[in-house]
Chain A
Amino acid sequence: MTNISRRNLLKASAAGAAGVAAAGVSAKALAKSNGKRVVIVGGGIGGATAAQYLKKMDSTIDVTIVEYNKDYYTCFMSNEVIGGNRDIESIHFTYEKLAAKGIKVVYDTVTDIDAKGQVVKTKGGKSLAYDRCIVSPGVDYKWEAIEGFTPEVAATTIPHAWKAGPQTKLLRKQLEEMKDGGTVVVVAPPNPFRCPPGPYERVSQIAAYLKENKPKSKIVVLDPKKKFSKFGLFMDGWKRHYGYGTDNSMITWINSENGGTVSAVDVASKTVTAAAGKFKGDVVNIIPPQKAGSIAFKAGLTNDSGWCPIDHKTFESTIHKNIHVVGDSSVAAPMPKSGYAANSQAKVCAAAVASLLNGTTMIEPSWVNTCYSVIAPGQDGISVAMVYKYEGGKIVKVKGSGGLTGAYDPELRKREVLYAHSWFENITADTFG
């Protein structure tokens, strides 16, 4: 700022001329008419990250975030709460730090997005006009897919606990109350779904708890897939820690080829019907099939897949202009539906939106995904990573980068547990301030 050349000063004066005229009217009118209003729908990882990075990139952008829940519990690390190794308060976040940075936080439910009129409408009766809208609603569930499984059942009896909070506590309580020798039935979802290694980390965490406290108990995993994320590493870990593959295995995994696909549940008897037969559990956890968050459907942002197609560089919807979709709801494959992916996508989207609002050229994007899973508390952590670039109009994996944790090395696996916890501390600091 101290070395403004005469030429730049002249350029800046010309650019500032319109601003001077407006300032003569009123400061409020200037703020309203700067054409840089962004409304963010959803305060999860994608939404909160986008809000913070937009403000950081250009503090003159008027950022409003709409989220119905004042208390956010991260889905990641909630498996450690279920396993009894983490207090639920440690995964609890609020929006006060965002508000302190000048982001307007509106606690309300978005009922509709008028794409033509560029207005976000809320249950509380608000109409929020935007120049650009960022939608990050996470996932919703295909309740019709499993007969007998409803939102009420999930909230009271058979939790999905796939959005952390009260259901995480409920599942933990049920495990604590279960007798030694009981059976835990975990129903895994079909692809694509939020947090691909999540169900199997959950099984590992529950197994660790049972091994220590209720060693006669068993876990049955019913899976509509043939394989899953980090498959070899989980299988190896389950063998090492939980006797997998032996007669005394704590975990039984039934995949699609062996009838693991579930069609119904009888709530009263806690009995799940799979292709292979009926499975009665003392504790049942059903992670249902998933689709984009409901507002994405209401706003007409989804296609036949049930997810939101987007431009891979800007994350702008290919259906509605001026609306961007990030996180689990977007179709951003080869990136997975993970918290780190949502965080990484939100920053690229923020850069795109800031460039579009300022009429500048967007910097070439770059993304990373890292996902940690803890197979055995304090001992055995694993990870998958990938670097992505934009090429030929698509997000592509950078060849040679990324991949899985290598062969078992006790020292390195211990380090990965602490790195997993560091991942958690840092991504939440980055997202919620």
Chain B
Amino acid sequence: MKKANLSLLASAVLAGSMVASSAAVAFDRGEMLANTCAGCHGPGGISHGPATPSIAGNSEAYFVESMEAYKSGERPSTIMTRIAKGYSTADFEAMAAYFAKQKYISAKQSTDASMAKIGEKLHDKYCEKCHTEAGKLAEDESGFLAGQWKPYLQYNLHDFAVSQDREMPKKMAKKLDALYKKHGQEGLDQLVEFYATK
């Protein structure tokens, strides 16, 4: 009996020491780089708002593509172009791998239910084909729309549809252009409200 207890204790300590060493070893270059993002994008890539997007859980491909687009200036931004120029593609990939593993949590923010209801219909008609489930699937390889902070969604829709500063896939351009022509700024606002409720 004594012997059995000892072995139980030994395995408990063994497990403990392995957890300890793995905790220290698990920290990699991706996390080192990702740590520098947290001051603006929140711990673990979950933004506390009101405008900076959450970057946890995104697909690695989307993350790298976005950072490259910021770096080249192709994607308009306030600060991200300046930040992205500090990193290599390998750095982006390391960060992307870290953030892809983090759990995405929808932002808690106030929304307008009646606008969201119309927004849902617009989403179904113009966006759902590529941004499935209101844009909350990493497999879609696009940024998360569901539960993203509203100002961020507004800024991006503005850059795509209104000022047309930002390049987009042909299909998307066609759809978004049709939506904006028919429903105007109000339509974009309704879409934002819908995503914010998800």
CA of A50 to CA of B16, assembled, Å: 23
Known: A364-B32, A402-B82. A16 touches B42 (CB 8 A): no
Q: Is A23 a contact partner of B9 (Cβ separation < 8 A)?
A: yes
Q: Which residues of A contact B32 (CB under 8 A)?
A: 347-348, 351, 363-366
Contact with B along A340-374 (1 / 0, CB 8 A): 10011001100100110010100111111010000
A354, A366, A415, A418: the one within 8 Å of B36 (CB): A366
Taking a contact as CB atoms under 8 Å apart, the answer to whether A360 and B87 are in contact is no
Chain A: which residue is nearest B36 at the CB level? A368
Question: Nearest Cβ in chain B — how far from A405, in angstroms?
Answer: 7
Interface residue A19 (Cβ < 8 Å from any Cβ of B): yes
Evaluate whether A401 and B86 lie within 8 angstroms (CB atoms) in the complex, with A15-B21, A57-B27, A422-B47 already known. Answer: yes
Q: Looking at B15, B20, B24, which has the most chain A CB atoms within 10 Å of its CB?
A: B24
A347-B35 contact in complex given A403-B82, A425-B48, C-beta closer than 8 Å: yes
Q: Is the CB of A418 within 8 A of B16?
A: no
Does B39 lie within 8 Å of A355, measured CB to CB? no
In the complex, are the beta carbons of A426 and B48 less than 8 A apart?
Answer: yes
- Residues of A11-41 at the interface with B, using a CB-CB cut-off of 8 Å, are 12-13, 15-16, 19-20, 23-24
Q: How far is the CA of A347 from the CA of B39 in the complex (A)?
A: 11
Q: How far is the CA of A38 from the CA of B186 in the complex (A)?
A: 55
A383 at the binding interface (Cβ < 8 Å): yes
| A191 in the interface (beta carbon within 8 A) | no
Contact A430 B38 (CB under 8 A): yes
Minimum distance in angstroms from B42 CB to a CB of chain A:
4
Q: Which of B51, B87, B151 has the most CB of A within 10 A?
A: B51
> Could you say which residues of chain A place their CB within 8 Å of the CB of B83?
368, 370, 385, 387, 401-402
Residues of A within 8 A of B16 (CB): 19, 60
Residues from chain B with Cβ under 8 Å of A363 in the complex: 27-29, 31-32
Q: Report chain A residues within 8 Å CB of B36.
A: 344, 347, 366-368, 387
Contact assessment for A58 and B52 in the assembled complex, using a CB-CB cutoff below 8 Å: no
In the bound complex, residues from chain B placing their C-beta under 8 Å from that of A13 are 14
- B78: interface (CB < 8 Å): yes
Judged by a CB distance under 8 angstroms, whether B187 is at the interface is: no
Q: Which residue of B lies closest to A406 (CB)?
A: B78
Indicate if the CB atoms of B13 and A23 lie closer than 8 Å. Answer: yes
Please, how many angstroms separate the alpha-carbon atoms of A398 and B85 in the complex? 8
B39–A340 touching, CB < 8 Å: yes
Which residues from A are CB-within-8-Å of B163? 411
The verdict on A141 contacting chain B, using a C-beta distance below 8 Å, is no
Q: How far is the CA of A15 from the CA of B25 in the complex (A)?
A: 15
Q: Does A419 contact B (CB under 8 A)?
A: yes
Check B86 against A354 for contact (C-beta < 8 Å).
Answer: no
Contacts of B28 in A (CB 8 A): 363
Residues on the B chain within 8 Å of A386, using CB: 86
**Contact, CB under 8 Å: A430 / B78:** no
Whether the Cβ atoms of B78 and A426 lie closer than 8 Å is no
Q: Which residues of B contact A415 (CB under 8 A)?
A: 51, 78, 151, 155
Cross-chain contact A360 with B25 (CB below 8 angstroms):
yes
**B123 proximal to A (CB < 8 A):** no
Complex Cα spacing A146 to B27, Å? 48
Distance in angstroms from B147 CB to nearest chain A CB is 16
Complex contact A1–B39 (CB within 8 A): no
Please state if B50 and A421 are interface contacts (CB–CB under 8 Å): yes
A429 at the binding interface (Cβ < 8 Å): yes
Considering the chains assembled together, what is the distance between the CA atoms of A365 and B28 in angstroms?
10
Q: List, in ascending order, chain B residues with CB within 8 A of A277's CB.
A: none
B136 at the interface (CB under 8 A from A): no
- Given the complex of chains A and B, what is the CA–CA distance between A19 and B15 in angstroms? 11
> How long is the Cα–Cα vector from A16 to B32 in the complex, in angstroms?
28
Across the interface, do B78 and A419 meet the contact criterion of CB distance under 8 Å?
yes
* Assembly CA distance A301 to B27 (angstroms): 30
Give the nearest-CB partner of B41 in chain A. A426
Report yes or no: B42 in contact with A429, Cβ–Cβ below 8 A.
yes
How far does the Cβ of B92 sit from chain A's closest Cβ, in whole Å?
12
Residue positions of A touching B, CB distance < 8 A: 1, 12-13, 15-16, 19-20, 23-24, 53, 57-60, 340, 343-344, 347-348, 351, 354-355, 358, 360, 363-368, 370, 383, 385-387, 389, 398, 400-403, 405, 411-412, 415-416, 418-419, 421-423, 425-427, 429-430
User: What are 30 A-B contacts with C-beta separation under 8 Å?
Assistant: A16-B13, A16-B17, A19-B16, A20-B13, A24-B9, A58-B23, A59-B20, A60-B20, A347-B32, A354-B24, A355-B24, A363-B28, A364-B32, A366-B35, A368-B36, A368-B39, A383-B79, A386-B86, A387-B83, A400-B85, A401-B82, A412-B78, A415-B78, A415-B155, A418-B151, A425-B48, A426-B42, A426-B52, A427-B38, A427-B40
4 extra interface residue pairs, beta carbon distance < 8 Å, beyond A58-B23, A347-B36, A368-B86? A23-B13, A385-B79, A401-B86, A415-B78
